[in-house]
Structure 1
Amino acid sequence: MKRTENGFTLIEVLVTLSILSFVGIIAWSVFFQGYNFSQKAISKNTMIQETNLLITNLKKVHQTLIVYEIKSENCEIKVTNLKTNPKQTQIFNHPAICFKILEINAVPGSGPKTVKPNNKLNDGSLNDVSLKINASEKNNPQNSITQDTFLYRMKGADYQ
């Protein structure tokens, strides 16, 4: 009697399933690792853009006010115009990003610091301000960026 058997044995099916499972797990983990990296990159880009917008607004404040106080608390940066009565405060914040001043003029701390941009220093230059600003996600503080900036007034411009 001659037997012609067609088909797969149970061992062949199990080996094939285990190989496919292994390849599937590797592909799945690579996909999710790429997705997580992409989400972190998007988040960092958003933080950089929002911090650049904050810096632009702070430069505008520095160039227009005579004397002001700057400080950071509770994930926001506050600038108070000390020339108005009552004092007017501008608050710079974001619903998903925590802003914090790390240094003002190379002095660690978040303020308050009184700034008089029109006051001339000993070398004749105007009172410029250097800031180190940290931005981090509120729901994931480990994901953060730090930017250094310099608030200045243009030489020869009349800001009175």
Structure 2
Amino acid sequence: MKKRLDQQGFTLIELLAALVLFTIFGSVIWGLFFQSLKYNDAEVSKNQLQQETNLILSTIQQMHTSSTITSIESTGSTLLIISDKGEFPFNKDNVLYQINEPINLPNKEFHLVLTLSSTENSSIQLETETTFSKLK
């Protein structure tokens, strides 16, 4: 039998080396993908807390300017603003509301420390400190 020396193809060592490199590369890409998903979820939660805070502060400012707020209370998953025009509750399933202390008004000026926390990730928290004033 005559042996052919010009055979082309991959050796078993070359295939195994390619498989190892592909596995390492795939593992790195897989890890980066899931890490980016985790960071994306955290940023989405922070953004939602910021939007909720902006809505609450805007509502309090409008109510403080146009009517008389009698109290602001928080009970974990609900923030309740009571004014002479009615009650305005804020409640979301994935947000915990906390204020520095229950605020009993009417005052022309009051200080508010509002903390919103994500129930999905306890390390995500947004604290806002502000003072509301009325000129009249």
- TM-score > 0.5 by shorter chain: yes
CA distance in 2, matches of 1:62, 1:95: 26
- Structure 1 stretches of at least 4 aligned residues deviating more than 3 Å after TM superposition: 64-67
Give the partner amino acid of 1:100. Q
Q: Which has the higher helix share?
A: 2
- How far is the alpha carbon of 1:28 from its aligned partner? 1.6
CA distance in 2, matches of 1:45, 1:89: 26
Is the CA contact 2:69–2:81 (under 8 Å) kept in the aligned structure 1? no
2:134 counterpart of 1:139:
no
User: When the two structures are superposed, what TM-score results if normalisation uses the length of structure 1?
Assistant: 0.72
CA distance in 1, matches of 2:33, 2:25: 12
User: When the two structures are superposed, what TM-score results if normalisation uses the length of structure 2?
Assistant: 0.83
- How far is the alpha carbon of 1:2 from its aligned partner? 4.6
Task: Give the one of 5, 8, 32 matched to 1:6.
Answer: 8
The CA RMSD over aligned residues, in Å, is 2.1
* Change in CA separation of 1:67 and 1:30 when aligned onto 2, cut-off 3 Å: closer
User: Which 5+ residue runs of structure 1 have no aligned equivalent?
Assistant: 104-109, 118-126
Give the partner amino acid of 2:41. Q
CA distance in 2, matches of 1:51, 1:128: 19
What are the within-5 Å matches in structure 2 for residues 1-160 of structure 1? 1-4=2-5, 5-66=7-68, 68-81=70-83, 88-101=86-99, 103=100, 110-111=101-102, 113-117=103-107, 127-153=108-134, 155=135, 157=136
CA deviation map 1:63-104 (0-9, x unaligned): 2344512221122212234x68xxx43322223322211x2x
Give the partner amino acid of 1:152. S
Deviates more, 1:58-67 or 1:21-30: 58-67
User: Which 5+ residue runs of structure 2 have no aligned equivalent?
Assistant: none
- How far is the alpha carbon of 1:53 from its aligned partner? 0.4
CA distance in 2, matches of 1:63, 1:137: 30
Give the partner amino acid of 2:4. R
